[in-house]
Structure 1
Amino acid sequence: MDLTTVTDRFSNVFKLGVGLGLWLSLSASVICAEELADVQAAVSSGSQLEEERSWKEAVDFYKRALKQFPETDSLSRGLRRSQFQFSIARRYSDDTFLRTLKPMSKDAAMALYDDVLTNVQNYYVDPINTTSLVAHGTESLWLALGNPRFLEENLFGASQERLQRLRRDLYERFWNKNVNGVAGARQLVSEVCDLCRQSVGLEAGPIVMEYVFGACNCLDDYSNVLSPGKKQDLFGNIKGEFVGIGIVMEADTGKGMSLSQVLPESPAAEAGLRRGDHITAVDGKDCRMMSTEEAAGLLAGRSGSRVALEVSRKDTSTFNVNCTRREVKVKSIPVYKMIDAAQGIAYIQMTGFQQSTVAEMDQALNDLNRQGMRSLIWDLRENPGGLLTAAIEVLDRFLEEGVIVSTRGRAGDQNMTYTAHKPGTWNTRIVLLIDENSASASEIVAGAIHDHKRGVIVGRTSFGKWSVQSIFDARYSTAIRLTTAKFYSPNGHTWGKIGLQPDVVVQNGPETRLLGEVDVENDPDLREALRQLENREFTKR
């Protein structure tokens, strides 16, 4: 994210090349797409998950199935339905949405809707007409009227007959109805509010919010409206600090909260938690069937407060730990070290691109240089990206001249070319490690290393997110995250939805890889990187 402020009449704008949201994981009971015999079996399994309201599992299942059976309309429609329903369920598990956005008056909610429409039409990377934005809001409301979480919060005990009639009226009167500009959008949404109030007594706030959030359903996967809580989380990630226990988790239905990362030197690490553990209860409340957002709400609290966790670990019985919440500083470089002092081979593990990344990289390079660094293994595996400027500034440490990256979008300030500067350049030999989860800003680095022939890239094909998001501050402490540009490597390549292939492919990475740890013996990627550096034909420019 570019922390240079660009001001328009709505907002401060920040740029980022960040991309991966929470990974969705299948529970053990879900059939993997690779096991399916045909398309009909895939559709049947997906439909079963939808009937069970297992939206998270359905989304992940349909994505896997579409890899096996691409361009299958029934699977694509199932994915679309499940994604929208999952979004609704997540909103209604977000305390800041429930407290500040859902209860809004019609006028206040409409003002926020104006912000969304205007910013999308002015800044989104591709032109989007108002009719499409409104139509996706209508579809989101139609789906919400069949979503148990929405109904429980807004229409508890409502007549099913009236709800079905309302959904039928929405479809017949407003489905894909042509609208002209923001004024036309406001008029249609106002008519929908009147219909819903007259039919089932539904207040305007929840209705307009489906149009506010649903508008982004016609954009790419990286564009959305952020509630006050989600906005705060995002900026905490950018700054690399938050109050909590220091874990990255995702709901694993029936098992609890699966820990995908435990941050070094965090309360969770000090309590002995490990990657792969499952939190099954928080302060005595069973969370095995909760969503990620619901469990996150239980884990949130003031610095200095304590939280009791029940944890299950593979091959061991359940155990209990207590953690004291405190400010956790997230390092983008959790470890750097010499891994072969005799050969001068250094290693840097970088897990993100945030505000502190450049300073961390400078410190690491200077420390390693004092220890005799002659070659560097730069590890960007599982690095989802982050700030565009951080990636550019870090790359400038290794390139003497030429283009680092360029961006292209509809708005004039999105068309930029960033170039390298010779002063301060490190001429160290580089092996770059990437994998299928290296995305966005990580791919900027990989693209520049590749095109400048600055080093050898080892691992697996990157994620394929070659786009830039900008964050627009909006009313009521919300924000709008939009894809505003695509980025291109120095030679003009963009590998969106494809990913950049490494120079040396390692089919399988390490089985387990802990944040902040280096295990050469059990890491095939690292072993290959060392082999490349031992090769006398290794070249750099």
Structure 2
Amino acid sequence: MNATTPLRQYKGRTAPTARPKAKVGFTAGSLIELAALGLALLVPAVALGQERTVLDFGPDPSATARYDSNGGYSRGDQAPARSPYENYQTEPTSRTAPQPTPKPQPATADRLSYRYDDPKVVRFATGTGWTRLVNLYVESSQLIDARHREPNSYADRVAMALANLSEAVGNESFRQAHRMTADAGRVQSFRSRLAGMNARSVRDRPDALEVMRQTASLAQSELGLSADAVAAEFLFGAVESLDKFSGFLPSDTRTGYGVDATVIPAQYAAEQTAGALDTSVVGLGVELKEHERGVVIVKPLAGGPAANAGLQRGDVITKVDGQDLAGKGLNGAADLIVGREGTAVQLRVMRGERFGTFNLRRARVELKTVSVVQLMTAPDGSKVGYLKLDRFAATSQTELDAALWQLYQGGMKSLVMDLRGNPGGLLDQAISISDTFLPSGTIVSTRGRLAEDNMSATAKQTRTWKVPMAVIVDEGSASASEIFAAAIQDNRRGVIVGRNSYGKGTVQTHFPVRTVAGDLKLTTAMFYSPNDRQMADQGVAPDVRVSEDREILPLDRDADVVAAIKAATSQTAATMAQAPGSVR
């Protein structure tokens, strides 16, 4: 590719190469991430092996079949006379349905139910022990004091813990997790005595620990509730009192389970990270959401054994190893589905009105962040490259480079980057990918409490893609997605299409703790666009606004994509590509 190419200013480089990771914003022993909002519900630990798959969707319930690499059936050397899936309509696109903008903060009752419906959290809260939980509270408190952007008082942390406990003792999920049997009278008595505790008098960590001990003693005498349950809620309460994005993330301590499987509903995903930073997972390779009969497959992960074996979008998993999933929720279902690499699992799957049994083997699945790469045709006949970037993970830059070259070799003249539902991810990847398209200018700046949290990243690459482009965002585009979109918009490099982004605007740092297996995730900085716009609670407003359409349509009929193609092939986008402008 020569220097006269209108797409990329390369001199002699003919193939994509991996670029080094930016070190901007990283601190020793921690991991900075900007993940905010996952609209598809990800169980990142499920992959189908090549075990025998028994299907009774069709007229022959004992038939043994498998999918070949082209998605068709093969049975030995003969194709089945009739596809058992012929009455099942598949979605023509991998895009998940748009979701409503999440609420800023879930109610305490909802937060507690979500927490204690997660078997991993229950194992942590009931199996860690009082001494280690107290030590973890001390370690976490020290980290909050030293590293949170705006650490609050111990009085605020204790007040949140007491409020959590008052609500928790009447919460069915909490009661089941801790095998609590106290009746309504004893619960009311406990709540009354809890209300008499003066959290406002707490001045420091020793005071907070003393209130924790007094509360644990009261809970044991009044309710028969273990001290561990109180200590765990003091920890969760302390972190939750900071902001809605900080949190404690326990690891799965079961031996040999590899990467954790975390399922996070949309209303909570802004507060936690659902595998957004992982590059591989162990399991069946599917994205799931809750269904009245169990869990429904949103998408088999690209290239994973699930897709190869024939599970499809819309299939409902109703049983795992004979256990009914109805009413178990996402975390309960995920806990049954995941397991050690190489182990077998049996799924009962509903497709329409038919049922099938799948005997599968868990395996490691590579997670791709560029999920769709496609050439489309604009109304003027030119070829438009379309890329769907699901998150900003360690492999994203390498995947993007390869995808751009693929599209260029196919004749791409303009580009649409789809960031709808992208929750964010790694800060260095957001900077690096922005630098792929910006010949100069500021990308992002962060400001925190400590000098190490303050930085300003600028475009440094001497060879950048000059293709005219449009970027699609929506209410599910958050954090790193907003950094990229704002950098493109403020530097007048491309056109932003869609709806207002989420407006997260904060940087979280993951601090591995010493006391137990897990991470303390703390908000350590705010980030700002090139023209100094604060992203928190504001987000990126599109240049071309498109009304939300909840119907899942093929890309060539998707209103956002149609508008983005029009924008990417416009004279405005062409001018921006040739001469990116000053910050606006």
Range class of TM-score, shorter chain: 0.7 to 0.9
Q: Offset at 1:433?
A: 1.4
CA deviation profile, 1:343-371 (whole Å, cap 9, x unmatched): 24222211110010111112222333333
Q: Aligned residue for 1:38?
A: none
For residue 94 of structure 1, the aligned residue among 119, 124, 146 is 119
Partner of 1:195: 218
Q: Find the counterpart in structure 2 of residue 525 from structure 1.
A: 560
Q: Does 1:502 align with 2:523?
A: no
Q: Secondary structure at the match of 1:376?
A: strand
Q: Which residue of 129, 136, 143 maps to 2:167?
A: 143
Letter in 1 for 2:565: L
Gaps of 5+ in 2: 1-20, 42-98, 254-258, 262-272
Distance 1:264-1:136 versus aligned 2 partners, 3 A rule? same
Aligned positions, number = 480
Alignment counterpart, residue 310 of structure 2, candidates 248, 255, 272: 272
- 2:509 is the counterpart of 1:470: yes
TM-score by length of 1: 0.82
Q: CA deviation at 1:101?
A: 4.1
Correspondent of 2:35 among 2, 18, 26: 18
CA distance in 2 between partners of 1:190 and 1:311 (Å): 48
Write the deviation string for residues 312-334 of structure 1: whole angstroms up to 9, x where unpaired. Answer: 34x54343333332111110112
Q: Match of 2:468, as an amino acid? A: R
**Could you tell me which residue of structure 2 aligns to residue 328 of structure 1?**
365
The answer to whether the 8 Å contact 2:276/2:424 transfers is no
What are the residue-to-residue correspondences of 1:427-446 with 2, within 5 Å? 427-446=466-485
Q: 1:171 to 1:21 in 2, by over 3 A?
A: farther
Q: CA–CA distance in 2 between the matches of 1:237 and 1:109?
A: 27
* Matches of 2:26 and 2:427, distance apart in 1: 14
1:262 matched residue in structure 2 = 300
Match of 1:6, SS state, is coil
Deviation of residue 281 (structure 1)?
1.6
- Determine the structure 2 residue equivalent to 1:317: 354
Which of 302, 321, 331 is matched with 1:293 structurally? 331
User: What corresponds to 1:356 in structure 2?
Assistant: 395
Residues of 1 paired with 2:363 and 2:113: CA distance? 31
Q: CA deviation at 1:241?
A: 0.6
Displacement of 1:179: 0.6
Aligned partner of 2:344 among 306, 317, 328: 306
2:445 to 386, 391, 406: 406
The alpha carbon displacement at 1:5 in A equals 5.6
* 1:535 maps to 2:565: no
> Are 1:482 and 2:522 matched, yes or no?
yes
Show CA shifts across 1:193-234 (max 9, x none): 222233344332111001011222223222111111398456
Contact in 1 for aligned 2:283/2:365 (Cα 8 Å): yes
Deviations 1:374-430 (A, max 9, x none): 321111112111111101001111111111001112222111111101412111111
Q: Which residue of 2 aligns with 1:84?
A: 111
Q: Cα offset for 1:2?
A: 7.8
Q: Which residue in the other structure is 2:71 paired with?
A: none
Q: CA deviation at 1:274?
A: 2.8
1:229 paired to 2:266? no
The structure-2 alpha-carbon separation of the partners of 1:366 and 1:250, relative to structure 1 and needing over 3 Å to count, comes to: same
Relative to total residues, which structure has the larger helix share, 1 or 2? 1
Q: Tell me the equivalent position of 2:137.
A: 113
SS at match of 1:18: coil
Tell me the amino acid that sits aligned with residue 207 of structure 2: G
> Where do 5+ consecutive residues of structure 1 fail to align?
25-59, 68-75, 514-518
Out of 402, 408, 412, the position equivalent to 1:369 is 408
Distance 2:216 2:175 in 1: 16
Partner Cα separation in structure 2 for residue 536 and residue 173 of structure 1:
67
The alpha carbon displacement at 1:130 in A equals: 1.0
Q: State the identity %.
A: 32
Contact 1:17 1:468 in 2 (8 A): yes
CA contact (8 A) 2:276 2:392 kept: no
Larger relative contact order (C-alpha < 8 A, sep ≥ 6)? 2
Per the normalisation by structure 2, the TM-score is 0.76
**Within 1, Cα distance between the matches of 2:177 and 2:416?**
52
Superposed CA deviations along residues 147-198 of structure 1, whole A, max 9, x for unmatched, are 2233334354435433332222111124x34211111111111121222233
After superposition, give the CA deviation of every residue in 1:456-504 in whole Å (9 maximum; x if it has no partner).
1112221221111111111211211122211111001123223322111
Matching residue of 1:461: 500
Decide whether aligned partners of structure 1 residues 243 and 533 sit closer, same or farther in structure 2, where only a CA change above 3 A counts. same
Q: 1:369, 1:157 → 2: CA distance?
A: 65
Number of the residue aligned with 2:265: none
Q: 1:99 to 1:155 in 2, by over 3 A?
A: closer
Whole-Å separation in 2 of the counterparts to 1:386 and 1:292: 22
Q: Secondary structure at the match of 2:489?
A: helix
Q: Which residue of 2 aligns with 1:54?
A: none
- Of 395, 408, 417, the match for 1:378: 417
Q: Secondary structure at the match of 1:280?
A: strand
- AA matched with 2:31: F
- Read off the aligned partner of 2:357 and give its amino acid letter: N
Q: Name the amino acid aligned to 1:94.
A: P
Q: Distance in 2 between the 1:87 and 1:133 partners?
A: 20
The question of whether the paired residues in 2 share the 8 Å contact of 1:2 and 1:14 is answered with no
Letter in 2 for 1:166: F
Asked whether the equivalents of residues 84 and 217 of structure 1 are also in contact (C-alpha less than 8 Å), the reply is: no
